[in-house]
C-alpha cells in the first residue's frame, strides 16, 4: 500500500475536527461524512487496483484508530479547573520554571517562554477546594507560560535558566475583534496556555552548558552584530527573516510585504530551514564527508538554529521533514515528501493537538501537500496536454531555460490556486502579482540567507568582515524594497476580499477545479460560460444588509458601518488604554469586512480616546474620502479662548494635532450641525446636535449626536454627550429607538432617566475598557437602562458587538459568539 501514513494523518485530522465541532452539529456531520467518504474512496481505489491484500484491512483499522486518537487527543485539551478559574479572574502570586526562549521588545522588556511551570498564589496554597471555591497552592501548570512586562535592566536572563518571578497570572484571552490576530489560538498551538505579568524576577539556577542557553547567547550576539552593521530598516528585516524576531520591523515594511503577498519571507519557516540544512548538507557531501558525518552535522546545526529562532510551527514541521530526508539519504531509501509531511503532522498534533486550528500551520501543510501531490499530478497533465497538440511523429523542441521558466510559473500558479482560498479566509486579501513575485524572491532567499549567516557568524569575530559578508543580503533587501514599492503602486495590486465563510472556500476550490478541467480539455466556450456564471453569482447574492460593529478598543470608542450599497462609515476611532489600534484593531476589522477605503470618517469630538486610531489611519495614508467634524467654535478656532471656553493645554494640542493631520490628508472636510442629513442610499444619518457655532468649556458637550434611520430600524449615536445637553434634542428622536449607543462609555452623568423614558431603547451598547480608571460603565447608568427595559451589551464584557439589519428586523450579538 502506497503512503499509508498520509491516510493515518487524514484520520487524525478528521478525529480532531469532530472533537472541535461536537457542539456544532453541522460540522460534526460534515467531518463524519468525510470520514466515511474517504473510507469508501480508499476501498474503491483498492478494488480498482485489485490489491485486496491484508495490508488493506490493517490500513482501515489504523485509520479508525488514528481517527479515535485525534478525537481523544483534542478532548484532553479542554479547559481544566485552573483554566476555567483563570478565564474569570487574574491571580497574584509567584511563578517558577525553566526558560525556553527569550525575546527583547522594542520597549526594553523581556518576553520569556517557560516550561515545567509551578505557581503559588499569594498567601495561599495549591489548587484546592474549600467552601465552594478553588484556590492555588504550589500548583504545577499543565502547559507552558509566557512572562511579560519584565524590564531588561531588571536581570540578565538566558534560555536554560531556572527563574522565579512575582506578578499576576492570567489565561490568554481569546480575540475580541473581527480580523484581529488570534493570540490564543497561536500560543495554544505552541503549547502556551498562560501569561504572567511580572513585577520582580530572580534566577534560581543557571545552566551554562544548556543548549538553550548557548543558542540564546549566539542569537543575542548575532543580533548585536546586525544592529551595529546594518541600517535601521535592513536590521529590522534581517532580524525578522533570519532570527525570527519582528520587534524591530517597521509597520511600513511589514505592510509592504503583506500587501505584495510575500509576508512568508518575514517569518522563519520551512523555506529557511531547508536552505540552512540543505546548504550545509550539500557542502559537506561535496567535500567528500561520509553520509553519517554530513547527516549528523546538518541535524545538529538545524536543531540548534530551530532552538535559536523559537521552534515555531513551520520550523517544527520543516525540521522533522528534513531529518526524515537525512535518514533517507543515510539508508539510501527514496524520500517521499507526502509521507514525510504526514509523519511530521502526526508528531506535531500528538505534541500539541491545537495546532490544527493555527492558520500558519494549516497553510504550511497545505503548501507541502500541493507541492508533493497536486503539482506533480498537474505537471503530468500539462505535459499530456502539450503533446496532444503534436502531429504523429513530431517532437517538442524547447530550450532548457524556457522549460524551467514555464514549469516554475506553472508550479507557482498551482500552489497559489491551492492556498489562495485559505489566504482569503485568514488574511482577507489577495495579491494577484504575488504569483510572479514568488518566482524570483524565493530563489533569491538562498543567497540572501547565506549572506546573512556569513555576515552574522564572521561578525562575531571581526565587524568589518561581517559587514562585507552582509553586502549581498543588503543589496537584495534594497532590490526587494524597490520592486515591491513599484508593484504596490500598480492597479489591482491588492484586492481586499473580506473573510469568506467555509462553504464559500469549498465553492472556490470547486470553481478552480472546473476551470482547470476546462483548461485541460481546451473547453474555451464552457470556460467562458462558467466565468460568466461566477460573475453573475457575484451580483445575485442574498439581499445585502446594514452591518454595524462596535469594536473593542479598550477605554475608547470605534464604530464601523457598512451599508447595503457598500458605503462605509467610521464613527470615531481611538483608545487611551491600547496602543497602535489602527494597525492591530481597526485596519484588520476593515479588511475582515472587505473594505479597502472609508467613504466617511465622523469625528464626534476630539478627545484622545476617540481620535488616536483615526490619526494613525490618516498618517498611514489609508484612503479616506470625507471627514465629518462638528461645526463648533472649538473646531473652528481650537486655540482661541471665549467667554465659556477655557482651553486646556492637553485638549488644545489634541485638536491642533488632529486638524493638522486632516489638513495634510487628501480627504474632503465637512462640518455638520443640527438639521444636516447624511444620506447613504436608503439610510439617513440625521444630525440632532450640536447647533451651528456651539461653544462650551466642555468638549464633550459639542459631541455630534445623530439618528440612523433605515426603514423600521433606528439607532441613536450620542458620542460623549453629558446629560445636560440631552434635553436639547430628546423630543426629536424617533421613539422607540431600536438601539442606543450609550453616551460617554456609560458615565453616570449621561443617559438620564428622563432621556431614557422618552427615547425608550430596546437595546443599549457601550464601549469601555476592563478595570478602567473611571469606573465606566457606572452602576447608576446600568440600573437606569435596566429600569427602562433595555438589554445591555458592552465591549468590556464580550468584546466587539455586531449588529445586522435588513431594515425590518435586526440581530445583535457579540462577535465571538457568531
Per residue in 595-610, pLDDT (tens digit) is 999 999 999 998 999 9
Over residues 91-112, the mean pLDDT reads: 88
Go through the chain and tell me how many residues it has: 818
d(CA 210, CA 212): 5
Provide CB contacts within 8 A for 777, sequence distance 6+.
Answer: 742, 745, 746, 747, 766, 768, 794, 796
Q: Grid coordinates 478559574 are at which residue?
A: 85
Half-sphere exposure at residue 488, Cβ-oriented, CA atoms within 13 angstroms:
16
d(CA 517, CA 501): 25
The whole-number pLDDT of residue 247 equals: 85
Rounded to the nearest angstrom, the gap between the alpha carbon of residue 620 and the centroid of all alpha carbons in its chain is 19
Residue 368 has pLDDT above 50, yes or no: yes
DSSP string across 583-647: IIIIHHHHHHTT-SSEEEEE-S---HHHHHHHHHHHHTT--EEEEEEE-BHHHH-TT---SS---
745 in Cβ contact with 767 (< 8 Å): yes
Confidence (pTM): 0.89
- φ and ψ of 717, to 5 deg: -110, 130
The closest alpha carbon to 440, from 478, 412, 400, belongs to 412
The whole-number pLDDT of residue 668 equals: 95
The whole-number pLDDT of residue 792 equals: 96
The closest alpha carbon to 345, from 753, 14, 718, belongs to 14
Residue 530 has pLDDT above 80, yes or no: no
pLDDT in tens, 543-564: 789 999 999 999 999 999 999 9
Range with lowest mean pLDDT among 105-119, 281-295, 402-416, 636-650: 636-650
Range with lowest mean pLDDT among 184-193, 356-365, 379-388: 379-388
The whole-number pLDDT of residue 390 equals: 64
Q: What is the band of 129 on the pLDDT scale with cuts at 50, 70, 90?
A: very low
Q: What is the band of 641 on the pLDDT scale with cuts at 50, 70, 90?
A: low
SS3 544: coil
The whole-number pLDDT of residue 48 equals: 54
Over residues 321-326, the mean pLDDT reads: 92
Neighbouring C-beta atoms of residue 465, cutoff 10 Å: 16
SS3 792: strand
pLDDT in tens, 20-42: 776 555 555 555 666 666 666 66
Rounded to the nearest angstrom, the gap between the alpha carbon of residue 96 and the centroid of all alpha carbons in its chain is 30
The whole-number pLDDT of residue 263 equals: 87
Over residues 449-470, the mean pLDDT reads: 90
Q: What is the band of 540 on the pLDDT scale with cuts at 50, 70, 90?
A: low
Residue 806 has pLDDT above 90, yes or no: yes
Q: What is the band of 132 on the pLDDT scale with cuts at 50, 70, 90?
A: very low
Exposure string for 773-809, b = 16+ CB within 10 A, e = fewer? eeebbbeebbebbeebebebbbbbeebbbbbbbbbee
Over residues 405-419, the mean pLDDT reads: 90
Neighbouring C-beta atoms of residue 1, cutoff 10 Å: 13
Residue 484 has pLDDT above 50, yes or no: yes
CA-to-CA separations, 773 to 170, 703, 778, in angstroms, rounded:
20, 22, 12
Q: What is the mean pLDDT of the chain?
A: 86
Q: What percent of the chain has pLDDT over 70?
A: 88
Residue 283 has pLDDT above 70, yes or no: yes
pLDDT in tens, 561-579: 999 999 999 999 999 999 8
The whole-number pLDDT of residue 39 equals: 65
Over residues 181-186, the mean pLDDT reads: 92
CA-to-CA separations, 514 to 38, 509, 778, in angstroms, rounded:
21, 9, 58
Residue 429 has pLDDT above 70, yes or no: yes
CA-to-CA separations, 374 to 208, 338, 406, in angstroms, rounded:
48, 11, 17
d(CA 693, CA 677): 17
In the 8-state DSSP scheme, what is residue 484?
A: H
Residue 650 has pLDDT above 90, yes or no: no
How many helices (H) and strands (E) the chain has is answered by 28, 25
Q: What is the band of 510 on the pLDDT scale with cuts at 50, 70, 90?
A: confident
Considering only residues 501 and 756, tell me which one the structure prediction assigns the higher pLDDT: 756
Residue 347 has pLDDT above 50, yes or no: yes
Q: What is the band of 314 on the pLDDT scale with cuts at 50, 70, 90?
A: confident
In the 8-state DSSP scheme, what is residue 90?
A: -
Q: What is the grid cell recorded at 438? A: 514568488
620 in Cβ contact with 661 (< 8 Å): no
Amino acid at each position: 500500500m502506497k503512503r499509508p501514513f498520509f491516510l493515518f494523518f487524514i484520520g487524525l485530522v478528521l478525529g480532531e475536527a469532530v472533537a472541535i465541532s461536537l457542539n456544532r452539529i453541522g460540522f460534526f456531520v460534515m467531518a463524519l461524512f468525510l470520514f466515511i467518504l474517504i473510507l469508501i474512496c480508499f476501498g474503491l481505489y483498492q478494488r480498482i487496483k485489485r490489491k485486496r491484500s491484508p495490508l488493506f484491512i490493517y490500513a482501515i483499522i489504523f485509520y479508525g484508530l488514528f481517527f479515535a486518537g485525534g478525537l481523544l487527543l483534542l478532548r484532553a485539551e479542554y479547559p481544566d479547573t485552573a483554566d476555567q478559574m483563570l478565564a474569570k479572574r487574574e491571580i497574584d502570586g509567584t511563578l517558577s520554571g525553566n526558560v525556553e526562549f527569550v525575546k527583547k521588545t522594542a520597549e526594553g522588556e523581556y518576553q520569556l517562554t517557560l516550561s515545567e511551570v509551578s505557581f503559588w498564589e499569594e498567601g495561599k496554597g495549591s489548587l484546592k477546594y474549600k467552601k465552594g471555591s478553588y484556590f492555588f497552592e504550589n500548583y504545577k501548570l499543565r502547559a507552558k507560560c509566557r512572562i511579560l512586562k519584565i524590564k531588561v535592566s531588571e536581570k540578565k536572563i538566558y534560555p536554560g535558566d531556572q527563574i522565579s518571578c512575582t506578578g499576576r497570572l492570567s489565561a490568554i484571552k481569546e480575540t475580541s475583534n473581527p480580523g484581529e490576530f488570534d493570540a490564543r489560538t497561536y500560543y495554544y498551538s505552541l503549547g502556551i496556555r498562560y501569561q504572567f505579568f511580572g513585577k520582580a524576577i530572580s534566577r534560581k539556577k543557571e545552566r551554562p552548558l544548556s543548549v538553550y542557553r548557548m543558542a540564546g547567547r549566539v542569537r543575542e550576539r548575532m543580533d548585536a552584530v546586525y544592529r551595529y552593521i546594518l541600517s535601521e530598516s535592513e536590521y529590522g528585516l534581517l532580524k525578522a527573516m533570519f532570527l525570527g524576531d519582528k520587534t524591530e520591523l517597521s509597520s511600513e515594511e511589514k505592510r509592504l510585504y503583506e500587501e505584495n503577498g510575500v509576508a512568508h519571507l518575514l517569518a522563519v519557516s520551512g523555506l529557511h530551514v531547508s536552505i540552512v540544512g540543505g546548504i550545509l548538507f550539500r557542502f559537506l557531501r561535496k567535500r567528500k564527508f561520509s553520509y553519517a558525518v554530513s547527516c549528523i552535522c546538518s541535524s545538529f546545526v538545524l536543531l540548534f538554529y530551530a532552538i535559536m529562532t523559537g521552534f515555531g510551527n513551520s520550523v517544527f514541521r520543516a525540521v522533522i521533514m528534513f531529518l526524515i530526508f537525512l535518514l533517507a539519504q543515510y539508508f539510501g531509501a527514496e524520500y517521499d515528501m507526502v509521507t514525510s509531511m504526514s509523519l511530521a503532522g502526526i508528531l506535531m498534533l500528538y505534541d500539541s493537538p491545537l495546532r490544527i486550528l493555527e492558520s500558519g500551520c494549516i497553510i504550511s501543510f497545505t503548501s507541502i501537500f500541493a507541492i508533493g501531490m497536486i503539482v506533480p499530478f498537474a505537471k503530468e497533465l500539462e505535459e499530456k496536454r502539450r503533446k496532444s497538440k503534436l502531429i504523429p511523429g513530431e517532437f517538442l523542441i524547447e530550450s532548457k531555460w524556457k522549460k524551467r521558466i514555464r514549469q516554475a510559473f506553472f508550479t507557482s500558479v498551482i500552489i497559489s490556486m491551492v492556498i489562495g482560498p485559505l489566504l482569503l479566509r485568514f488574511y482577507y486579501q489577495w495579491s494577484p502579482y504575488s504569483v510572479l513575485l514568488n518566482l524570483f524572491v524565493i530563489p533569491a532567499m538562498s543567497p540572501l540567507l547565506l549572506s546573512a549567516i556569513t555576515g552574522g557568524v564572521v561578525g562575531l569575530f571581526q565587524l568589518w568582515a561581517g559587514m562585507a559578508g552582509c553586502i549581498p543580503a543588503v543589496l537584495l533587501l534594497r532590490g526587494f524594497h524597490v520592486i515591491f514599492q513599484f508593484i504596490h503602486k500598480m492597479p489591482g495590486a491588492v484586492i481586499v476580499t473580506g473573510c469568506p465563510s467555509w462553504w464559500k472556500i469549498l465553492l472556490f476550490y470547486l470553481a478552480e477545479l472546473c476551470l482547470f478541467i476546462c483548461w485541460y480539455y481546451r473547453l474555451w466556450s464552457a470556460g467562458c460560460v462558467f466565468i460568466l456564471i461566477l460573475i453573475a453569482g457575484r451580483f445575485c447574492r442574498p439581499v445585502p444588509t446594514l452591518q454595524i460593529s462596535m469594536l473593542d478598543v479598550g477605554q475608547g470608542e470605534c464604530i464601523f458601518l457598512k451599508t447595503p450599497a457598500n458605503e462605509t462609515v467610521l464613527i470615531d476611532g481611538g483608545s487611551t488604554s491600547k496602543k497602535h489600534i489602527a494597525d492591530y484593531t481597526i485596519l484588520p476589522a476593515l479588511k475582515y469586512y472587505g473594505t479597502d477605503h472609508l467613504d466617511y470618517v465622523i469625528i464626534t469630538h476630539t478627545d484622545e480616546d476617540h481620535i488616536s486610531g483615526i490619526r494613525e489611519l490618516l498618517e498611514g495614508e489609508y484612503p479616506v474620502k470625507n471627514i465629518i467634524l462638528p461645526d463648533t467654535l472649538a473646531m473652528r478656532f481650537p486655540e482661541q479662548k471665549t467667554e465659556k471656553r477655557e482651553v486646556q493645554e492637553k485638549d488644545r494640542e489634541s485638536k491642533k494635532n488632529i486638524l493638522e493631520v486632516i489638513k495634510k490628508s487628501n480627504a474632503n472636510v465637512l462640518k455638520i450641525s443640527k438639521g444636516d442629513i447624511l444620506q447613504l442610499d436608503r439610510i439617513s444619518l440625521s444630525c440632532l446636535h450640536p447647533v451651528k457655532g456651539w461653544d462650551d468649556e466642555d468638549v464633550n458637550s459639542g459631541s455630534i449626536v445623530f439618528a440612523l434611520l433605515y426603514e423600521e430600524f433606528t439607532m441613536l449615536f450620542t458620542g460623549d454627550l453629558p446629560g445636560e445637553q440631552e434635553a436639547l434634542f430628546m423630543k426629536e428622536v424617533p421613539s422607540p429607538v431600536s438601539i442606543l449607543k450609550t453616551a460617554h462609555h456609560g458615565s453616570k452623568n449621561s443617559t438620564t432617566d428622563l432621556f431614557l423614558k422618552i427615547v425608550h431603547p430596546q437595546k443599549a451598547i457601550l464601549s469601555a475598557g476592563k478595570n478602567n480608571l473611571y469606573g465606566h460603565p457606572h452602576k447608576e447608568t446600568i440600573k437606569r437602562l435596566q429600569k427602562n427595559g433595555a438589554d445591555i451589551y458592552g465591549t468590556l464584557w464580550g468584546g466587539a458587538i455586531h449588529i445586522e439589519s435588513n431594515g425590518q428586523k435586526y440581530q445583535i450579538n457579540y462577535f465571538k459568539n457568531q
